[in-house]
């Protein structure tokens, strides 16, 4: 018989043995990843937690499942994006993309690239977003995946909409709608109706600025109709996130139609659902909609409170949302008569735009550096091959002394030629990199970095040799209206026209830079303030005589100039502020003016 104490000990051992965790099955991961991705519409925080738990279980069990891992990472990234945690989302979707490169299923890989496109778009990296969207569209079409192709087309349409490419946006959205209707996917149909409504809203703004109120009203009505249809589908599907987006868009359509109280009903519904879901970006959008309604109702204090909450929720890295909030805050301060705050926030908004432009330039420089490194590797490979050949010839030297000697000399010349070629390539690419780093990519003028160095040298010459020099700050008047009314492509044409006009009027020793979005800075060595005024007035007359031609028609365009002379002992920041103050004084006096700092200083 067994000792009772032994039996009790064995029983205790069984009780306290740790439970063996169930290892996830690779075959079920695709379905589980899809259910986690769908949680972004209801509880994205829980979606992130569940997705990461599954990935940890795979790691603990040393289970590979590359396809399942790819889909899980994409699902987690999608939920992080909804929560507004974009840096984490970018990192996680990067892990999914690494697995997508070797994926066996092109449909699953395309879905991951669509998710990546959405995240990069929100992060403001539009070129990478478009790259992933187009790759997803091509892969889905090749695989015969109608629904996947429609999803990618809708994403591309959204990107074109955000960039102001209306016709391209409409074409892709209609292609998406047709695809979703063929596939019978109701959620996709509703989402595309929301996107078409957003496009109608942007078109309405354009018509309103152009003074075509009748067409603007028609687009607002179209926006309202699209989103009411979408809302009905989302309600049938019981999709709270979709309901929230459609309701907020309905509110946005009702405000310009004068139905503000009705709009607030939909805005409050949207806000409540978005707070429940944890959709940070959506809550910010609902706050912006509410602020719009408050401004129309002449309640600037309520609008200010909503915008302050929205500002507190914007992640530091999300420049797109930050710009939207700042723009609406400027509008709110103008409505309340607080022009000082409006001016301060407008300058902050311009700084954000400058920072984005600087990042775009840095990305282009990095591409050049990578091209240079590829060239170096190619030269190294050729050099190693030459060295191997030289070694082989030396091994034969005892048998063919004279022939080997000749070959050795030829190979030595080859090596020297390769080294010289590598040296020339390095110098050429180095010059290219330096030029790119000092040049504005659109206009070909100097950029801030190059101009800053030139002004520092001019200050040094003024202090040491008493050599005079002056600065001109020139700003295109009402440039935002041109961009909003005619589009960014026309805005770029205007910038190129002004840059070429300035380039033709300055001397070879003068330096012209694109200083900001529509601001140009000109350094005139050896020139007093009076001479800089003459140059500015000449440019003013020349622009009036030769305006840019857009689609065969002349576009009336003016510049406002601020002029200052570089004085002994003045710092760089002081000089820029003088030129800037003079230019903004010209703006305040009615634009299309030439104002010197001496006039402003009194």
The lowest-confidence range among 209-213, 351-355, 540-544 is 351-355
pLDDT range class, residue 560, cuts 50, 70, 90: very high
Mean pLDDT of the chain: 80
User: Is 78 within 8 Å of 111 (Cβ atoms)?
Assistant: no
pLDDT range class, residue 265, cuts 50, 70, 90: very high
The lowest-confidence range among 95-104, 256-265, 285-294, 361-370 is 361-370
How far apart are the C-alpha atoms of 215 and 117, rounded to whole Å? 33
pLDDT range class, residue 357, cuts 50, 70, 90: low
* Degrees to nearest 5, angle at CA 158 with 97 and 195: 125
pLDDT at 514: 92
pLDDT digits (tens, 9 = 90+) for 11-66: 443 433 334 446 677 878 888 888 898 888 788 899 889 989 988 888 888 888 88
Q: 560 has which bridge partners? A: 475
> Quick one: CA torsion of 588, 594, 598, 602, rounded to 10 degrees?
-40
Whether 522 has a pLDDT exceeding 90, the answer reads yes
Whether 582 has a pLDDT exceeding 90, the answer reads yes
pLDDT range class, residue 384, cuts 50, 70, 90: low
User: Is 295 within 8 Å of 303 (Cβ atoms)?
Assistant: yes
Q: What is the mean pLDDT of residues 278-300?
A: 88
pLDDT at 343: 72
pTM above 0.95, yes or no: no
How far apart are the C-alpha atoms of 263 and 271, rounded to whole Å? 12
Other residues' Cβ atoms within 10 Å of the Cβ of residue 297: 14
Whether 284 has a pLDDT exceeding 50, the answer reads yes
Q: What percent of the chain has pLDDT over 70?
A: 81
The residue ranking higher by pLDDT, 457 or 397, is 457
Q: What is the mean pLDDT of residues 62-88?
A: 86
User: Is 116 within 8 Å of 315 (Cβ atoms)?
Assistant: no
Closest CA relative to residue 452, chosen from 306, 582, 573? 573
Whether 499 has a pLDDT exceeding 80, the answer reads yes
Q: What is the mean pLDDT of residues 173-200?
A: 89
Pinpoint the alpha helices (H) of 126-165.
126-142, 146-162
Question: Per the structure block, which two tokens stand in for 289?
Answer: 């909609």
The residue ranking higher by pLDDT, 65 or 581, is 581
Whether 402 has a pLDDT exceeding 60, the answer reads no
pLDDT at 38: 87
pLDDT at 89: 85
Q: What is the mean pLDDT of residues 372-398?
A: 56
pLDDT at 414: 63
DSSP labels for 459-498? HHHHHHH---EEEEEEEETTHHHHHHHH-HHHHHHHHHHH
């Amino acid at each position: 018989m067994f000792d009772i104490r032994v039996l009790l000990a064995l029983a205790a051992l069984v009780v306290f043995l740790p439970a063996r965790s169930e290892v996830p099955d690779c075959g079920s991961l695709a379905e589980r990843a899809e259910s986690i991705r769908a949680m972004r519409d209801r509880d994205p925080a829980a979606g992130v937690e569940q997705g990461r738990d599954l990935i940890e279980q795979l790691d603990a069990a040393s289970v590979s499942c590359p396809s399942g891992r790819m889909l899980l990472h994409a699902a987690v990234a999608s939920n992080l994006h909804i929560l507004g945690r974009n840096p984490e989302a970018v990192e996680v979707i990067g892990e999914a993309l690494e697995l997508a490169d070797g994926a066996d299923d092109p449909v699953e890989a395309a879905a991951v690239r669509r998710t990546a496109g959405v995240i990069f778009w929100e992060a403001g990296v539009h070129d990478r977003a478009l790259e992933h969207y187009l790759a997803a569209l091509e892969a889905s079409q090749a695989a015969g995946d109608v629904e996947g192709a429609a999803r990618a087309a809708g994403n591309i349409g959204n990107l074109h909409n955000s960039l102001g490419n209306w016709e391209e946006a409409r074409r892709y959205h209609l292609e998406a709608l047709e695809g979703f209707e063929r596939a019978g996917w109701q959620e996709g149909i509703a989402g595309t109706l929301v996107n078409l409504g957003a496009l109608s809203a942007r078109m309405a703004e354009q018509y309103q600025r152009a003074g075509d109120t009748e067409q603007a009203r028609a687009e607002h009505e179209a926006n309202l109709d699209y989103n009411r249809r979408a809302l009905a589908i989302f309600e049938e599907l019981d999709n709270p996130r979709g309901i929230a987006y459609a309701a907020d868009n309905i509110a946005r359509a009702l405000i310009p139609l004068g139905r503000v109280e009705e709009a607030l009903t939909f805005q409050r519904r949207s806000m409540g659902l978005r707070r429940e879901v944890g959709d940070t970006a959506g809550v910010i959008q609902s706050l912006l909609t509410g602020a719009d309604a408050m401004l129309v109702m002449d309640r600037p204090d309520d609008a200010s409170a909503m915008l302050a909450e929205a500002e507190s929720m914007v992640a530091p890295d999300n420049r797109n949302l930050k710009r939207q909030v700042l723009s609406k805050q400027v509008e709110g301060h103008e409505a309340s008569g607080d022009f000082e705050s409006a001016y301060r926030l407008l300058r902050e908004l311009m700084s954000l735009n400058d920072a984005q432009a600087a990042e775009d330039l840095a990305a282009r420089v990095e591409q050049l550096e990578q091209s240079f490194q590829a060239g170096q590797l190619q030269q190294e490979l050729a050099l190693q091959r030459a060295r191997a050949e030289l070694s082989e010839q030396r091994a034969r030297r005892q048998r063919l002394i004279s022939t080997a000697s000749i070959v050795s000399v030829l190979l030595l010349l080859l090596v020297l030629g390769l080294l010289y070629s590598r040296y020339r390539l390095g110098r050429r690419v180095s010059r290219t990199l330096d030029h790119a780093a000092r040049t504005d990519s659109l206009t070909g003028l100097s950029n801030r970095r190059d101009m800053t160095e030139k002004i520092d040298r001019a200050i040094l010459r003024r202090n040491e040799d008493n050599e005079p020099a002056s600065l001109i700050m020139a700003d295109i008047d009402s440039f935002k209206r041109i961009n909003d009314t005619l589009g960014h492509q026309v805005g770029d044409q205007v910038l190129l026209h002004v840059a070429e006009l300035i380039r033709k009027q300055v001397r070879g020793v003068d330096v012209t830079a694109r200083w900001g979005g529509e601001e140009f800075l000109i350094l005139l060595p050896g020139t007093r303030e009076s001479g800089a005024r003459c140059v500015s007035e000449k440019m003013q007359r020349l622009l009036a005589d030769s305006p840019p031609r857009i689609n065969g028609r002349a576009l009336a365009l003016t510049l406002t100039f601020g002029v200052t002379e570089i004085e002994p002992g003045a710092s760089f920041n002081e000089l820029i502020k003088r030129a800037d103050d003079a230019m903004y004084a010209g703006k305040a006096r009615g634009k299309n003016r030439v104002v010197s700092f001496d006039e402003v200083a009194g």
